[in-house]
Amino acid sequence: MLLITEQNDQLDYLTEEDEKGGKNYFIEGIFMQSEQKNRNGRIYDKKVLFNEAKRYDKEYVKANRAMGELGHPNGPTVNLERVSHKITELRYEGNDVYGKAKILETPYGKIVKNLMDDGVKLGVSTRGMGSLEEKNGVKYVGKDFMLAAVDIVADPSAPDAFVDGVMEGKEWVWNNGILKEQEIQCYKACLCNTKNVTEDQKIRMFENFMSKLQKF
Task: Catalogue the active-site residues.
Answer: 72, 125
- Terminal C-alpha separation, the chain: 15
| DSSP labels, 160-195 | -SSBTTB-TTEEEEEETTEEEEEE-HHHHHHHHHST
Number of residues assigned to the chain: 216
- Cβ(40)–Cβ(6) below 8 Å: yes
Residues 172 and 76: beta-carbon distance below 8 Å: yes
Other CB atoms within a 10 A radius of the CB of residue 71 amount to 17
For residue 89, CA distances in Å to 5, 78, 107, 158 come to 20, 19, 23, 27
